[in-house]
Amino acid sequence: KVHAILTYNGTNHLIKKEVPCETDQLTHVYTFILRPDATYSILIDNVGKQTGSLYSDWDLLPAKKIKDPSAKKPEDWDDKEYIPDPEDTKPAGYDDIPKEIPDADAKKPEDWEDEEDGEWTAPTIPNPEYNGEWKPKKIKNPNYKGKWKAPMIDNPDFKDDPELYVFPKLKYVGVELWQVKSGSLFDNVLVCDDPEYAKQLAEETWGKLKDAEKAAFDEAEKKREEEESKDAPTADSDAEDEQEDDDHEGDESDTDSKTEETKEETSSDKDDAAHDEL
């Protein structure tokens, strides 16, 4: 989101409204307009994203109105929107409906012995006809007065500032940056007192290049994706590599087996020769 911060009497105040920001990798123009009537506008790419009042959207000054701290809700104030229907009655036999009933589908196990296991009883299941504790239905309260709110009074701590929009020491531009991705660039910073001139300058700089920038970015992304797809090994090649590895291991195993057999035969021949000599 966009952090629109105003400094007043040495304190930084963040805007209370949400201002969405752009999250792509293209160039964008951010504009913050403060007007003599204490209204403001925030634009992105010369398109309005938020507007309002410096009085209401920042806590620069104490509130003009506050709730009367001495006010109390009248005792006869009825703030219940719904009440139980006094004419609703409990159905006959309602309290006799059990919460659980024996399972009609349950059967005594074949290996159940009453003498050893006791008398078998079917397990219970929730009763579909049981509706819990009976309560009368609700109806609209004819005496409902709404939610009580304390009346608003003038805030004794409020002192208006007709020059709330004025920033006389606005001479420099600084960039305080915290980011999780590198590569952010800042240029063409303008401080002026003419919003129309600011819009015009944005169109003459950013506006003339935005389409070409978008096309170049899309082309670069396309080439990057093509290169990645070429470099990425396919599933078939992986399977072939694994098969070749298995075959190679099998060949080595066969070679080892043949070598061992040859060694055994050679050893056997030597033993036979030794016996013949003896």
In this structure, of 125-129, 135-139, 262-266, the range with the lowest mean pLDDT score is 262-266
Q: Is residue 41 part of a domain?
A: yes
Q: What percent of the chain stands above pLDDT 90?
A: 65
More confident residue, 261 or 186: 186
Do 278 and 167 sit in the same domain of this protein?
A: no
Query: What is the phi/psi pair of residue 262, to 5°?
Result: -65, -40
Do 199 and 250 sit in the same domain of this protein?
A: no
Q: What is the mean pLDDT of residues 81-100?
A: 94
Residue 244's pLDDT is 61
Q: Mean pLDDT across the chain, nearest whole number?
A: 86
Please give the model's pTM, rounded to 2 decimal places: 0.59
Residue 252's pLDDT is 55
* Rounded-to-integer distance, Cα 15 and Cα 73, Å: 34
Do 165 and 277 sit in the same domain of this protein?
A: no
Q: Dump pLDDT digits (tens) for 177-224.
A: 888 878 888 888 999 999 999 999 999 999 999 999 999 999 999 999
Do 53 and 167 sit in the same domain of this protein?
A: yes
Residue 270's pLDDT is 47
Q: Is residue 226 part of a domain?
A: no
Domains in the chain, number: 2
Residue 185's pLDDT is 87
Q: Dump pLDDT digits (tens) for 160-189.
A: 999 999 988 787 888 888 888 788 888 889
Q: pLDDT band for 240, please (50, 70, 90 cuts).
A: low
Amino acid at 126: P
* Rounded-to-integer distance, Cα 185 and Cα 182, Å: 9
**Residue range of the domain that includes 262:** 242-278
Q: Is residue 71 part of a domain?
A: no
Q: Is residue 183 part of a domain?
A: yes
Q: Is residue 36 part of a domain?
A: yes
Q: Is residue 215 part of a domain?
A: no
- CATH number of the domain at 9, please: 2.60.120.200
Bridging pattern class, strands 11-14 and 5-8 = antiparallel
Token pair 């994203």 is found at 49
Closest by CA to 165, choosing from 34, 71, 26, is 34
Query: DSSP letters of the chain?
Result: ----EEEETTEEEE-SS------SSS---EEEEE-TTSEEEEEETTEEEEEEEHHHHS-SS--SEEE-TT----TT----SEEE-TT--PPTTGGGS-SEEE-TT----TT--HHHH-S--PPEEE-TT---S--PPEEE-TT------PPEEE-TT----TTTT--TT----------SSS----------S-HHHHHHHHHHHHHHHHHHHHHHHHHHHHHHHHHHHHHSPPHHHHHHHHHHHHHHHHHHHHHHHHHHHHHHHHHHHHHHHHHHH-
Q: What is the mean pLDDT of residues 60-82?
A: 94
Q: What is the mean pLDDT of residues 255-276?
A: 49
Structure tokens at 201: 């300058």
Residue 87's pLDDT is 93
Q: Is residue 134 part of a domain?
A: no
Residue 141's pLDDT is 96
pLDDT at 238 over 80: no
Do 13 and 59 sit in the same domain of this protein?
A: yes
Q: Is residue 142 part of a domain?
A: no
